Structure 1
Amino acid sequence: MSELLGIVCLILISALFAMSEIAIAAARKIKLKIMMDEGHHGAEQVLKLQAHPGAFFAMVQIALNAIAILGGILGEQALTESVSYYVSLVYQGPLLDKISFAVSFLTITSLFILFADLLPKRIAMLMPEAVAVRVVTLMNAITTAFKPLVLFFNGVTNLVLKIFGFPTERKDEVTTEEIVAIMDAGAKSGSLQAQEYQLIGNVLELECRTLPMAMTTRESIVFLDLEDDSDTINQKILNNPHNQFLVCDGHLDKLLGFVDTKQLLKQLLRGEAVHLNEQIIEKEVFYLPETLTLSEALNAFKSASEQFAVVVNEYALIVGIVTIKDLMSSFMGDLVTFHGEEQIVQRDSESWLVDGATPMVDLCRVLGWEDVPEVNQYETVAGFLIYRLKRLPKRADHIICDGYKFEAIDIEGVRVEQLLVSRYKEGGAEFTL
């Protein structure tokens, strides 16, 4: 009976070590930090243990191996005679001792596998943080008690790792991929709402998107010419009710500054003819290079406290204008809808009308298209079409790629204004017309 009780105690102790090992290894750093902020002292200890796990794992392996050896010894003593008695009731041949030993071995091994390994590890995997914060203090105490053995085995392990060029310490770095995986899991479980999921995803993409994906392009910029008369200025403001207008001398590349429409309104209220003069033109224009990411652009706006910026290329030519509203819209997406600004309009379940300037990442999100070929070679849907055609498209030109047909349906000059994107139903073989 004492030997059986000893086996039960060994199984329970082995289960504790197995559970502790899995729980501390599987505990998520982000959740532990949240628990630490909420006042869980054990969470801080687990984080420290995860940062330097060598001594802990050495102690666990020493304990588990010692328990396994003791379990085998006690098991043979406790069960062999009893098993031999019951086996002898049906068999008394020369193999009686070997059969009894085999049955005893399988019984003890099965008990340890089930109750000392599988069950505790499954429990630890289901709630690793909760288990880890409860056992970490005890594990630290046992590690200290076995310090001489732990130092020896841990030192040998570190030496072997260094010989083969492996790191000896764990580096916890939360990557974008891990955050996306957590978001996906939260969205599937329902703990993360669809709007929250979309917003966080857009924010993470700010480092991947550049200014051309959010700006008003050069050909769409409405500016005031220094030589414009009152009627021309009034008409431009009526047709394009912006807060500020660029002021140029003849053409866009001779930029003089910008004017606030409030200044022109004051002229109108005083009964004067609306006109441009040096007093109302602000010459300090905020410039941004087109190579900036949207995240970098937001930081630049924050530092400059400006409402809009003129975007220039490497040759100092103006390629567009970007405003705070443009940047906010880039990651707010469908959460904030502005009249007349929809870039992707779904016609039916199989086709979409797409503005040529639509960022390719936005279209891919709508289509659920993940493996886009050579995505670093273009930014917009029009750019994708041009890249695949290897020339400027004409009306009705199209390509078929990965089961989708991209057809240019509205061309203005060399600009692709609108495309029709539809599912290709004949297998999606890729070719170009």
Structure 2
Amino acid sequence: MSFIQSLLLLLLLIGASAFVSLAEISMAASRRLRLQRMVDEGDERARTVLQTQEQPAHYFTVVQIGTNALAILGGIVGESVFSPYINALLAFWLEPAWSEPLAFLISFFLITSLFILLTDLVPRQLGMLLPEQVALRVIRPMHGLIFLLRPLVLFYSWLMQRTLQLLGAPAQREERVTSADILALTEAGTRSGALAAGEQQVIENVFELTTRMVPSAMTQRDRIAYFLVDDPDEVIRARISAEPYSTYPVCRGDIDHVIGYVDAKDLFQRVLNNQPLRLDDETLLRKVLLVPDRLTLAEVLEQFRQVGEDFAMIVNEYSLIVGLVTLNDVMSTVMGDLVSPWDEEQIIRRDADSWLIDGVTPIQDVQRVLDIDVLPEADEYETLAGFLMVMLRRVPRRTDTVTWGGYRFEVMDVDSFRIDQVMVTRLRE
């Protein structure tokens, strides 16, 4: 075989090996969501790629047959292409005992470099950059090779399945998309600029609804504005003026005996019609939704949907009212300042290493701001105040401090056993 013929054969082997590498990496890197969108647009090649991803054994068997066979043939042909000519060139300066092995080494280096660059690095990079486009172009030729090499494919596939069974490995990969997968995609989208940081945070907050307990979003018991059923007209008007809300619980005797709630719109309508405000009027009083304090925010949303309400009172295991929650409270947890930008901030950054935080701030928000992954006994509390109580094993007092995760938490203000303000300082090593 002449030099030109050998060189053409070598280039043909390199091209074939590059094609196999492209086929391998593009199939592995192709994203199912993009392929499904192409299928919806009518591209049958995308459907074939999706089907191959679901059953990839025969496809990758052909890839491995091609990769190994072409690499071996390339080494044999390449050595015969370059080695004699390099040896003849070296013979002008070296003895045959030195020129022949050196020519072999130089030829081996050239062939290896060509295969690394042209059949591995370049095709794999191209396949990673444009996986779906490449996969659509190679899928039909690869299925043709699967048909032509079917006996070998079936034999090696059978051997592979038996080997996997011996190793206890699964026969198919799991395609279930988890919340962690989606959050990882949103983080990558934020880094690439496809998503704004605020949009990523909203998506993360949506998934937190299934883990956040309702006390993390509720209005605390001591902050609830409510009426007693026998409150006179002037007391009701004064309460509405001092604490304007959309809904008010109505209680008999004290807050732990809720009998219903009134909507501020109904009260305003009576005021405009010059009618007296009487809370024992059955046409004015609405049935209140009671939910236990161990529900997640997602479960509260489901209860709102089922009963058609957007307001609920929260009770503990002793049937005592611990707070109230509205649909707006839940949405504020998801959307943050986009829903209620006028709300008082619970976390105020003072400088690069310190924050002033309200004691009732949900502990998940504290973890996010401080970038703390794990807290001790996290199931025992919902707020920063609860964290301090668990860590101190008593009711915190002013100037009490707790150190955790590279931060010092110092109680700055306590009002009737309620922790108002906590100073958090990053500890520098």
TM-score (norm 2): 0.91
Cα distance in structure 2, aligned partners of 1:372 and 1:187: 27
Q: Is the 8 A contact 1:377 1:387 kept in 2?
A: yes
Letter in 2 for 1:242: Y
Gaps of 5+ in 1: 428-433
Shift of the 265–70 alpha-carbon distance from structure 1 to 2, 3 Å rule, reads closer
Q: RMSD between aligned alpha carbons?
A: 2.2
SS at match of 1:292: coil
Tell me, yes or no, if structure 1 residue 256 matches structure 2 residue 259.
Answer: yes
1:381 to 2:384 alignment: yes
1:250-399 alignment, distance < 5 Å? 250-282=253-285, 284-399=287-402
Q: Structure 1 residues 410 and 253 mapped into 2: Cα distance closer, same or farther (>3 Å)?
A: same
Q: Is the 8 A contact 1:243 1:261 kept in 2?
A: yes
Aligned mate of 2:75, from 61, 64, 72: 72
> Which residue in 2 is equivalent to 1:431?
none
* 1:187 aligned onto 2:187: no
Give the C-alpha shift of residue 132 in structure 1: 1.7
- Work out the CA distance in 2 between the residues paired with 1:78 and 1:367: 64
Q: Which moved more, 1:399-408 or 1:266-275?
A: 266-275
How far apart in 1 are the matches of 2:64 and 2:216?
A: 55
Give distance in 1, aligned partners of 2:92 and 2:107. Answer: 16
Between the aligned partners of 1:348 and 1:106, the Cα distance in structure 2 is 58
Residue 22 of structure 2 is aligned to residue 15 of structure 1:
no
Give distance in 1, aligned partners of 2:378 and 2:48.
44
Q: 1 CA distance for matches of 2:266 and 2:123?
A: 75
Greater mean deviation of Cα atoms: 320-329 or 350-359: 350-359
- Mapped partners of 1:208, 1:285: distance in 2: 25
Question: Could you give the per-residue CA deviations for residues 136-185 of structure 1, whole angstroms, max 9, x where no partner exists?
Answer: 22212211221221111011101110121101112222233332222222
Matched, 1:119 2:115: no
Partner SS state of residue 398, structure 2: coil
Residue 81 of structure 1 corresponds to which residue in structure 2?
84
The percentage of counterpart residues that share the same residue type is 41
Aligned equivalents of 1:378, 1:48: Cα separation in 2:
48
1:274, 1:309 → 2: CA distance? Answer: 23
Which residue of the other structure, out of 222, 225, 232, is the alignment partner of 2:225?
222
Residues in 1 aligned to 2:303 and 2:276: alpha-carbon distance in whole angstroms: 37
1:359 CA drift (Å) = 1.0
Cα pair distance change 1:209/1:50, threshold 3 Å: same
**What CA distance in whole angstroms lies between the structure 1 residues aligned with 2:77 and 2:300?**
70
State the AA in 2 paired with 1:209: R
Deviation string 1:290-328 (CA, Å, 9 cap, x unpaired) is 222222222322232212112223344322211111011
**Aligned mates of 2:271, 2:113 — CA distance in 1:** 93
**Alignment of structure 1 residues 409-428 onto 2, 5 Å:** 409-425=412-428, 427=429
Give the 3 Å change call, closer, same or farther, for CA 283–106 of structure 1 in structure 2: same
Distance 2:55 2:161 in 1: 12
Query: SS of 1:354's equivalent?
Result: strand
Give per-residue Cα distances to partners, 1:186-245, cap 9 Å, x unaligned: 222222122222222222222221111111122222221122222222222222222322
- Give the SS at the match of 1:172: coil
Following the alignment from structure 1 to structure 2, what is the Cα–Cα distance between the partners of residues 193 and 276? 48
- Tell me the SS of whatever aligns to 2:72: helix
C-alpha contact 2:331 2:339 (8 A) present in aligned 1: no
Contact 2:230/2:280, CA 8 A, preserved across alignment: no
- Measure, in 2, the Cα distance between the counterparts of 1:66 and 1:119: 20
Pairing partner for 1:47 from 46, 50, 57: 50
